[in-house]
Every structure is written in C-alpha cells, then in structure tokens.
Amino acid sequence: MASDAQGRAHRRIDLRIADYLLARLERIRGDEVTVVLPTPGGYATSSVMIANALGRFPRSTAVVPYMALSGGPLIALGAREIAIGRCAALSAVDPVGLV
C-alpha cells in the first residue's frame, strides 16, 4: 500500500474496493457521478466492473489529480469525461491478473 504526502492510503483496486464502490454507485439517485482516481492500479476484473458501472451514468467524470496507473486508466475510460490535473500521469492499461 502506498500513500501520498498527506498520508492518505492508496490501495490497489481489488474486489473489496470494487464491491465498496459499486455499492456506493448503486445508491446514487441522479444521472451524474464524479470519481477521483489517485491510484496505483490493481486487478483487471475489479477495474472493468467499476468502469462498466461508471459508463451507466449519462454524466460521469473521472478526475485524475496526479496519477492513475494500471487499472486506473481503464476505470477512467469508462467515464464519459476525464479531467486530468496539470501534472498528472496516466500509465498504460496493464492491470494485475483477473481478480
């Protein structure tokens, strides 16, 4: 697990993270959602599940403040719009395995 300068933890995207986010997305009543993606990436299946859920919103935005690696860009591509910070980095879509 990595952390940023403020000490916030950035865990790999796994089924536990996907379950949490999918449950939160299910509770949104409107047609608009924004997700912030400071992530080192994670598993392919989990990333695809989140990307698919974002794609179901007519107005979805993925915000990449400074990095979205591995499965992170895959999630961002599921959104209708991507907002990238001035010094942000996106890596190749190369998630870890299929979990």
pLDDT tens per residue, range 21-51: 999 999 999 999 999 999 988 899 999 999 9
The DSSP line for 11-66 is --B-HHHHHHHHHHHHT--SSEEEEE--B--BBHHHHHHHHHHHHTSSEEEEEESS
- Whether 5 has a pLDDT exceeding 60, the answer reads no
CA distance 15 to 26: 16
pTM of the model: 0.84
